[in-house]
Structure 1
Amino acid sequence: MADGSPVNLFDPYAARAQFPILSRSVNGKPLVYLDSAASAQKPRAVIGAMVAVMEGSYANVHRGLHTLANETTEAFESARESVAAFLNAPSAENIVWTKGGTEAINLVAAGLGQSIQPGDEIVLSEMEHHANIVPWHMLRERYGAVLRWVPVLDDGSLDMAAYAALLGPKTRLVAVTHMSNVLGTINPIAEITRLAHAAGARVLIDGCQGAVHATPDVQAIGCDFYVFTGHKLFGPTGVGVLYGTTEALEALPPYQGGGEMIETVERDRITWAKPPHKFEAGTPPIVQAVGLGAAITWLNQFDNAAIQTHERALLSHVRSRLNGLNWLREIGTAEDKGAIFAFTVDGAHAHDIAQVVDRYGVAVRAGLHCAEPLSKRFGVTSSARASFALYNTLEDADAFADALIKAREFFA
């Protein structure tokens, strides 16, 4: 709706019509894009907002007094307000712009690293994306941090009893995903946070999938940090978000030095700006931030629960189409999971499956999905993944199932 209020029903065909790229064909077939977990497509509203800034009012932000600078700064900070509202953050001052979810996690890791002592523990889960593993390994190598791993059960859910047992007086941080990019599992992050805080640890939630397919209410979750990236949320690449509580951001030292993140600079002393600017050295991703703000505004016209219902109906339809095939293995079957279908096919490498279904216009992912520990947990060296978004339809789900069955015949 034009006023931004949610509608009661969700029409995927109307939403799909707003994505120019989805009208193209691939290999002579209508495009069926099922790789949104890697990067989502962009609606005209986002494309138009970014073009409008570049064509009509672009200038650097915060530093100029002329009209273009004021207009661009207003659009840039308005986008920050949109992100704060989207996450239900207490204030826009809790929102830090980064160049992606990966940088947001690295920002927190770099700050915490300055106070890490040998033996301090960081709790992760086996289902984490490499972006939420590698920065903590760097603290292990550089400062002697100890990584503790929460096991994943056979259905793809977290072993919460094992998680509770891992927490102790040496736990400094718990860093877990809101929703797995491979399994689709949506973790009980409010309970994870509650238990971590009871043990005296801070909590970082990787929301790169959860911000899109779950409910990212940071006040209800209670976490200290929540990160997500723009390009999975129908926005552009090159922009991400770090949410932090006021206390957590004030305690964190700066990540980079330069313009904008300082209050005063003298020959023998320096003082930092207050959050969020303390973490935004140099020229920020201006156009990208405006694009992300436009994506959130565009997304707000729909009812989030209705979108989740639609996406899960597509997953259910695919499962019903493929049920009983003894050559197919689905990885991750936790209850109430998001609309991600990761799978292996007997007798065929996942890369080959992805290439064959591409002949039918179907785009899926194949590989380790930046989650190597999880692949090893399930005993696979590679898997394929179909990930559904709000613009996918039942026709897309059927096209995927048809293409997969044909691909299996190719290798049989």
Structure 2
Amino acid sequence: MFTIDKIRADFPILKRKVHGKPLVYFDNGATSQTPQVVIDAIVDYYSNYNANIHRGVHTLSQEATDKYEEARIKIQKHFNAKHSYEIILTSGTTESINIVSSGFSSILKKGDEVIVSALEHHSNIVPWQMMCEKTGAVLRVLPMDEDGSLRLDLFDQMLSNKTKLVFCNHVSNALGTINPIEAIIHRAHKFGAYVLVDGAQACPHIKPDVQELDVDFYVASAHKMCGPTGVGILYGKSELLEKLPPYQGGGEMIETVTFEKTTYAGLPHKFEAGTPNICGGIAFGVAIDYMNSIGFENIAKQENELLAYGTEKLLEIEGLKIYGTTRKASVISFNIEGIHPYDIGSILDKLGIAVRTGHHCAQPIMNFYKIPGTVRASFAFYNTKEEIDILVEAVKKAKMMLS
């Protein structure tokens, strides 16, 4: 049963005060908060079995290895990957994307085309620009509409036999738009193009099934899913991961090493050079267990109610405009006419409210709307309507002070 008071009690940080006010945390799009059960798992690792993995015959190493690989299997099952070795544990979404872009830098050739959506985070733009500079491939941009949706009618016109890769986020971090990735994947595959979906913003709200989606690559970060920072995943179909060369050289990713030649380990270790974030991987598995114990249907219901309530209440403020009005996750990105978003965010902080201000690492979206940035309130399942009421009153106060 979903009981908000019980859930909030799982998160120690929600009890603290900021500038003498109870914390209202609406910056979940940047990073979610961490439940006690995940914190306990981190303390347990460093207190009881801190050791390097995959290499030691001693007990601590074996225990750490078992826990780490158990976490990989939890992640595999959560995303419904066919094989556990299709889950590459990385430092986060950004590294996951860079592994793929680096790999394709040795495969693409001049004149090949890749398509990226206009709604992307910089992490899903810059690596592909770098890849195109190296290969001579052409980067094309799928435009967006005023309501924050993608122009799928133009996508059909852009696709051709030259299209080799398509990149799109599942949910926009700046606007909250839920993109039609099923349609994008299906249409791209008709032309033999591979698709990478950035799931960083989707996974806190949606439980993706990578086999059902038939997606080629899917990436995500633990710190947006009640887990720790510094760990994430790259899912890739095994036949594609086999084609890509290693991203980094070092320990763990090798089979044999001589000064004449090195041969590489099989999946997933081929892409996991060096000592990984062992504790982070284990804690990620615990975070996934926690979110599944809450239930993604319950999470969606709570967050959709918060989104509807927050939208209604904020739009009652004269001069307030919300960006992104199509189907979306629990994100409200807004401005008040004549007031810089940074100034609003600064006043909200003094009132104990954490929101994100700026371009949200999505400058092309802000350029599209011809604005410097927005105030972004992003809700999680542990937030409440009472907190939204506090936000609304604080925005009204900020408007009065700054007008």
TM-score above 0.5, yes or no = yes
User: Partner residue of 1:167?
Assistant: 159
Structure 1: how far apart are the matches of 2:98 and 2:3?
A: 38
Q: Does 1:401 align with 2:362?
A: no
Q: Does 1:59 align with 2:51?
A: yes
Q: Which amino acid aligns with 1:138?
A: M
Q: Deviations over 1:129-168 (max 9, x none)?
A: 0000000110122221211111111111111111121111
Matches within 5 A, 1:251-266: 251-266=243-258
User: Partner residue of 2:302?
Assistant: 310
User: Partner residue of 1:362?
Assistant: 353
User: Partner residue of 2:118?
Assistant: 126
Structure 2: how far apart are the matches of 1:215 and 1:290?
A: 19
CA apart distance, 1:15:
1.3
Check whether the contact 1:186–1:214 (CA below 8 A) recurs between aligned residues: no
Say which SS state the counterpart of residue 53 (structure 2) adopts.
coil
User: Partner residue of 1:380?
Assistant: 371
CA apart distance, 1:324:
4.0
Q: Does 1:44 align with 2:33?
A: no
Structure 1: how far apart are the matches of 2:321 and 2:167?
A: 29
CA apart distance, 1:46:
0.7
User: Partner residue of 1:213?
Assistant: 205
Q: CA RMSD in A?
A: 1.0
Check whether the contact 1:59–1:72 (CA below 8 A) recurs between aligned residues: yes
Structure 1: how far apart are the matches of 2:95 and 2:314?
A: 38
Check whether the contact 1:13–1:393 (CA below 8 A) recurs between aligned residues: no
Check whether the contact 2:112–2:163 (CA below 8 A) recurs between aligned residues: yes
- Residue from 381, 384, 390 that aligns with 1:390: 381
Stretches of 4+ aligned residues off by more than 4 angstroms = none
- Residue from 206, 222, 225 that aligns with 1:230: 222
Structure 1: how far apart are the matches of 2:382 and 2:317?
A: 27
User: Partner residue of 1:149?
Assistant: 141
Structure 2: how far apart are the matches of 1:106 and 1:233?
A: 21
Structure 1: how far apart are the matches of 2:186 and 2:248?
A: 31
- Structure 2 residue runs without a partner (length 5+): none
User: Partner residue of 1:110?
Assistant: 102
Q: Which amino acid aligns with 1:346?
A: E
CA apart distance, 1:267:
2.6
Structure 2: how far apart are the matches of 1:16 and 1:96?
A: 32
Q: Which amino acid aligns with 2:258?
A: E
- Residue from 331, 338, 342 that aligns with 1:347: 338
Check whether the contact 1:207–1:228 (CA below 8 A) recurs between aligned residues: yes
Q: TM-score, normalised by structure 1?
A: 0.96
Say which SS state the counterpart of residue 300 (structure 1) adopts.
helix
Check whether the contact 2:114–2:165 (CA below 8 A) recurs between aligned residues: yes
Q: Deviations over 1:20-52 (max 9, x none)?
A: 111001111110000010011111111100110
- Structure 1 residue runs without a partner (length 5+): 1-8
Structure 1 residues 19 and 324, CA, compared in 2 at 3 Å: closer, same or farther?
Answer: closer
User: Partner residue of 1:193?
Assistant: 185
Q: Which amino acid aligns with 1:163?
A: F
Structure 1: how far apart are the matches of 2:4 and 2:141?
A: 39
Q: Deviations over 1:66-90 (max 9, x none)?
A: 1000100001001101111111111
Structure 2: how far apart are the matches of 1:158 and 1:11?
A: 36
Check whether the contact 2:148–2:324 (CA below 8 A) recurs between aligned residues: yes
Aligned residue pairs, count? 403
Check whether the contact 2:315–2:321 (CA below 8 A) recurs between aligned residues: no
Structure 2: how far apart are the matches of 1:91 and 1:389?
A: 30
Structure 2: how far apart are the matches of 1:221 and 1:138?
A: 28
Check whether the contact 2:49–2:60 (CA below 8 A) recurs between aligned residues: yes
